[in-house]
Structure 1
Amino acid sequence: MLRQTVLGLLLACAVSFSRCSPFGDGGMLILWAQTASQISEFPAQDGVVTPNPWHFYSRMSLYRLVIGATDKYMGTMGTGNTDSPLWGLPLQLGWMLNSGRLGDPSGASTCGLDTGDTTCISTESWWACENYFVSVLPFLSAAQNGILGDGLQVRMQVPEGVTNYCTTYAECAAAFPDAMAKWDQFFQGLKASVDSPLPDAEKRDAILGLYWEAHMASTYASAACDAKKTHYSAQEVSFSQSWVNSAEFVSAARFQSSLDNASKFITPLPSRILKDGDVAPDIADLSTEENNSLQVFARIDSINASMGGTLVTMWKRSMCSVQARLKGAELLEQMLLSPASSPVTIVSMGAAIAMTC
């Protein structure tokens, strides 16, 4: 029943893009109750299921179905039904909707804008394109690996005239072989984990390792979306790159992106697309927390650049054990949520953690 929380009460908040939390009562995602809970709720043609990932409810449904189908393999993550690391993905999509980042930034249509269909996801949005790689690709892999039922065939719908998105497992595997292979390994590893003799802590860490390898492979593949960045301000482009770069640190720490954990990182993200002239911490219509998160992202990028890119390398090397990764995840959370923390701490703490390797 938790997943059936009355999230529909927050529909007006979400579709009007007002600045409000992407979470409903009980900490659940807005609009979750409007998504599909069974594959049979998707349209089908000639025995092939045909979801429409260019509609918010349908794309969010991809997450709901995969999360529901993999819950039985996630026992080492915790005792609740929101402990799966997959929860970080629908949280990101909910934030993108609320902040207007799924709308058409080109001006060619009103798709996703408050002057049109606010649940439409634009093929011209860089954010929507990047998210395609962590929504459609894992869903197609889950279907291919029998997670969603035996013999399930899926072909994603695509708007007329749009040709630069893969729509089937075979197409995506041909276009982005590393990303699809990593998602295959994740789902196969999940199924195998049931019979694994490893202690729960090690099993959990192994599952998170497979998840983040797949997530990062999709992130790298989403470089195919980069041309769409021309629609945005320099400030939004800089933030988008910082947001992508931050995943390097989070993934190396094998952060357990459960609903509760991931929400701490999603809530302070900027609640609108950044414009020319937006300079944190002095963006008047953004909250203190939003300004702080933008500063943290910018400082990490600045430090990494000044070190010739070696900050990420050093951090990855320091995440060499289960305990080191737990400490790393705690450090990242502290840095983002505490205004008094400095990204420089990554350097000193990363070096200290590395000494234990």
Structure 2
Amino acid sequence: MLRPLALCLLLVAVATVVVVDCAVLTENGMPILWLQTAGQLTDLPIQNDVLVPNPWHYLHCMSLYRLIIAATDPYMGSMGTNANDSPIWGLPLLLGWELTSGRLADPTGASTCGAETGDRMCISTQSWWACVNYYFSVIPFLSAAQQGFFGESVPVQMQVPEGVADYCTTYADCATRFPDLMAKWDAFYQGLKAANVSDASDVEKKDHILGLYWDAHQSSMAASASCSARKASYSATEVGFADSWQNSADFIAAVNFQSNIERSLMFMSPLPSRVLKEGDRAPHIADLSAEENHTLYIFSWMRSMNTILGGTMTRLWRSAMCSIATREKGRALLEQVLLNPGFSTSTFLSLITATASGC
């Protein structure tokens, strides 16, 4: 079980990384407070032989990722030779950014959950970002347990705060409420096992595994529509960014992006380091870096263009990513448009059209 002394040390550690000029995603090359999380199942609470993690405690939630990555790494050989090449690394990095940017705190102000003046390890059930994260942490963990990645017959039931009833807590409960979502994560884990004994090349295995991963990822994104009511507690600017962030995932997923630590940091580091307020207008937000401003501007442009075109840009992009070769080109193109301020958005549109015509 996570010890009180460790928690006290963590609060000091968090305090040293919260006030920053840009998004903080790592400590010593790992997700925020990674080394303070559970390294094995028995480090998490157990009641009556049932594992009962608390996904509304930052360390417990981050522990879910650490345990998933450790259990699936033996099946990730096609991803590369580095220890941090699993695509799952993008999820704990995102959770760390949500912590340091204040997005896991109670946006209503009704409690100090997650606030700098309150319990920093508390994840608010009222946070839209935390609600969305539930579908990217709890659901994958329950699926991994069901598929035997933590050993045979490991019963799991997530803790839930008193008075909160709109979150599923067990595999059976979640599979009943979100059958398509759970089926996608089950397919990902089953695909990992199948790839491990397949005669396909590592290039083919890698692309197939990433395809299954992003199918599950986007299914979690779709299921998180149930979180929409929580957006009412944020500024219109933050809501616009949240919508743009979700829209960007369509483009990233289509290229089977390998969201390992190195590549995830490249795309996540320019994310805004605080919750956006009314009046924030990228690319002219004075207390955010040029990189953060550029990312906010491009995210907004991509969503606006896709809306103006009636979703054509997303559909064209997906159709263009029709092979391993075009997906590789797509990844390079995304890197240019998102990270290179000098890259023309009109060039992005013309390259999408040209690539799609070759499929």
TM-score (norm 1): 0.95
> SS of 2:31's equivalent?
coil
| 1:139-288 equivalence runs, <5 A | 139-288=141-290
CA distance in 1, matches of 2:47, 2:222: 32
Q: Extract structure 1 runs of 4+ deviating beyond 4 A.
A: 7-10, 16-20
Q: Structure 2: any 5+ residue segments left out of the alignment? A: 1-8
Say whether 1:12 aligns with 2:15. Answer: yes
Indicate the RMSD between aligned Cα atoms, in angstroms: 1.3
| 1:279-298 equivalence runs, <5 A | 279-298=281-300
Say whether 1:117 aligns with 2:119. Answer: yes
CA distance in 1, matches of 2:238, 2:122: 21
The equivalent of 1:73 in structure 2 is: 75
| Deviation digits for residues 135-179 of structure 1 (CA, Å, limit 9, x no counterpart) | 000000000000111110000000011101000001110111111
The amino acid that maps onto 2:260 is: S
Say whether 1:83 aligns with 2:94. Answer: no
Q: How far apart are 1:342 and its partner, in Å? A: 3.2
| 1:307-326 equivalence runs, <5 A | 307-326=309-328
Q: How far apart are 1:10 and its partner, in Å? A: 4.4
The amino acid that maps onto 1:36 is: A
Q: How far apart are 1:121 and its partner, in Å? A: 0.1
CA distance in 2, matches of 1:178, 1:152: 22
The equivalent of 1:22 in structure 2 is: 25
| Deviation digits for residues 180-226 of structure 1 (CA, Å, limit 9, x no counterpart) | 00000000000111111111101100000000000000000000000
Q: Which range is displaced more, 169-178 or 121-130?
A: 169-178
CA distance in 2, matches of 1:331, 1:227: 34
Structure 2 vs 1, CA of residues 175 and 343 (structure 1 numbering), >3 Å: closer, same or farther?
Answer: farther
| Deviation digits for residues 21-64 of structure 1 (CA, Å, limit 9, x no counterpart) | 22122x22220011001000111111110000001000000000
CA distance in 2, matches of 1:17, 1:105: 18
> SS of 1:133's equivalent?
helix
Q: How far apart are 1:348 and its partner, in Å? A: 1.2
Query: Does the 8 Å contact 2:21/2:289 carry over to 1?
Result: no
Q: How far apart are 1:306 and its partner, in Å? A: 1.7
Q: How far apart are 1:17 and its partner, in Å? A: 5.0
| 1:331-346 equivalence runs, <5 A | 331-346=333-348
| Deviation digits for residues 282-304 of structure 1 (CA, Å, limit 9, x no counterpart) | 10000000000000001111211
The amino acid that maps onto 1:94 is: G
Q: Structure 1: any 5+ residue segments left out of the alignment? A: 1-6
Structure 2 vs 1, CA of residues 106 and 299 (structure 1 numbering), >3 Å: closer, same or farther?
Answer: same
CA distance in 1, matches of 2:347, 2:301: 11
Query: Does the 8 Å contact 1:17/1:100 carry over to 2?
Result: no
CA distance in 1, matches of 2:107, 2:275: 10
CA distance in 2, matches of 1:330, 1:86: 20
The equivalent of 2:5 in structure 1 is: none
The amino acid that maps onto 1:22 is: L
> SS of 1:339's equivalent?
coil
CA distance in 1, matches of 2:139, 2:19: 27
Q: How far apart are 1:12 and its partner, in Å? A: 2.8
Query: Does the 8 Å contact 1:19/1:99 carry over to 2?
Result: no
> SS of 2:322's equivalent?
coil
The equivalent of 1:4 in structure 2 is: none
TM-score (norm 2): 0.95
The equivalent of 1:38 in structure 2 is: 40
CA distance in 2, matches of 1:342, 1:230: 34
| Identity %, equivalent residues | 57
Question: Relative contact order, CA 8 A, sep 6+: which one is greater?
Answer: 2
Query: Does the 8 Å contact 1:31/1:57 carry over to 2?
Result: yes
CA distance in 2, matches of 1:116, 1:56: 14
Query: Does the 8 Å contact 2:124/2:130 carry over to 1?
Result: yes
The equivalent of 2:305 in structure 1 is: 303
Q: How far apart are 1:113 and its partner, in Å? A: 0.5
Q: How far apart are 1:19 and its partner, in Å? A: 4.4
Q: How far apart are 1:305 and its partner, in Å? A: 1.5
CA distance in 2, matches of 1:37, 1:344: 47
The amino acid that maps onto 1:203 is: K
CA distance in 1, matches of 2:246, 2:138: 18
The equivalent of 2:103 in structure 1 is: 101
The equivalent of 2:4 in structure 1 is: none
| Deviation digits for residues 265-318 of structure 1 (CA, Å, limit 9, x no counterpart) | 110000000000000111000000000000000111121122111100000000
